[in-house]
Amino acid sequence: MYQLGIILCFFFFFLLKCSTSLDLQQDGKIVNGTVAANGEFPYAVSLRRSKTGHHSCGATLLNSRWLMTAAHCVRRAKPEDLNVQYGSNLIARNATQIAQVNAIHVHPEYDPKNKHFNDIALLQLTESVSFNDAVQPVHLPDPLQQTLSNSSAVLAGWGLNATGGSVQKQLMKVELQVFSDSECSDRHQVQLHSSQICAGVPEGGKGQCSGDSGGPLLIGGKERNGSDTQIGIVSWSVKPCTRPPYPGVFTEVSAYVDWIVQTVASHPTQDPLSSQLWIGQLIVARTPPPL
């Protein structure tokens, strides 16, 4: 009888282990996404811990020397604590395309206790990166540009495939639906800020997870005359990841275009490309007024 009890215990342990593994696997993707094609998101970069080379957050290239990410990814960091891998969908600790961070500019009114209000930061690199087919700047929206509810958007990142899952080595993508501000607040049962935007799927099961923070939410080229436009920065979500009815919450980039332009213009370099920004379908280059 004792031996039978041991056998039954092992049997039920095996079933529980298999069930848990399947629950966490979530189809082995970002959370239920697919592998991005090489060069599909040439502006996506991995923000890493410089000592270990471990991926911590996503970010996007704005030009040859500036990156955009979430404030909560970097607010307690020093430039020497970070570096970035760019130009590849496959992240690796010993990657060769690594850039060093020279300065961190967290939004001055970032408030992590107020639903991560103003969750945006800019990183200035020590040296300029060279553009090619695999390295390109992302397009910013026009200032205060509105995104229609029910629009189709794409999230890209290397985040966990589920709460308690693992960081993805390959860049993943997933198609999501943009929710109206009112529906987003209703689903979260709290009034969100007008400078935040939500995306997910009504039934849950697809979207962002830990490690995707700072990465881009994009409206694809078909809707923006052939060019991807970043409308959101991954900010926060209810755990476990992609739990219905809660869509992911993003910083709405269009609310911060003026701040981005002012910040970049206030820190000029000798590289003319480092002052240029794609805004809408125009390249904007501004230099500070003479002293």
Domain that holds residue 71: 44-138+255-285
pLDDT number for residue 221: 57
For residue 20, being part of any structural domain is answered with: no
Residues written for the chain:
291
Indicate the DSSP class of residue 241.
Answer: T
Residues 93 and 155 both lie in one domain = no
Reply yes or no on whether the pLDDT at 16 is more than 50. no
- Digit-coded pLDDT (tens) for 212-240: 999 999 997 544 444 789 999 999 999 99
- Digit-coded pLDDT (tens) for 95-147: 999 999 999 999 999 999 999 999 999 999 999 999 999 999 999 999 999 99
Q: Where are the beta strands (DSSP E) in 50-195?
A: 55-61, 66-69, 82-85, 98-106, 121-125, 152-157, 172-179
- For residue 275, give every residue at least 6 positions away whose Cβ sits within 8 Å of its Cβ, in sequence order, or none: 63, 264, 265, 268, 269, 285, 286, 287
Q: What is the tally of structural domains in the chain? A: 2
Residues 146 and 250 both lie in one domain = yes
Residues 156 and 113 both lie in one domain = no
Residues 259 and 248 both lie in one domain = no
pLDDT number for residue 164: 87
**CATH number (domain holding residue 270):** 2.40.10.10
For residue 278, being part of any structural domain is answered with: yes
Residues 197 and 224 both lie in one domain = yes
Residues 61 and 145 both lie in one domain = no
Q: Are 287 and 265 in contact (CB under 8 A)?
A: yes
For residue 7, being part of any structural domain is answered with: no
For residue 159, being part of any structural domain is answered with: yes
Mean of the per-residue pLDDT values of the chain: 87
Residues 143 and 249 both lie in one domain = yes
Q: Which of 3-12, 167-176, 280-289 has the highest mean pLDDT?
A: 167-176
Indicate the DSSP class of residue 31.
Answer: S
pLDDT band at 266 (very low <50, low <70, confident <90, very high): very high
Reply yes or no on whether the pLDDT at 25 is more than 50. no
pLDDT number for residue 285: 67
pLDDT band at 7 (very low <50, low <70, confident <90, very high): very low
Residues 180 and 259 both lie in one domain = no
Residues 124 and 152 both lie in one domain = no
For residue 2, being part of any structural domain is answered with: no
Residues 163 and 186 both lie in one domain = yes
Q: Which of 211, 166, 269, 222 is nearest to 46 (CA)?
A: 211
pLDDT band at 80 (very low <50, low <70, confident <90, very high): very high
Residues 121 and 243 both lie in one domain = no
pLDDT number for residue 18: 35
Termini Cα distance of the chain: 90
Q: Are 46 and 186 in contact (CB under 8 A)?
A: no
For residue 245, being part of any structural domain is answered with: yes
| Residues assigned a catalytic role | 72, 119, 213
Residues 110 and 175 both lie in one domain = no
For residue 17, being part of any structural domain is answered with: no
For residue 75, being part of any structural domain is answered with: yes
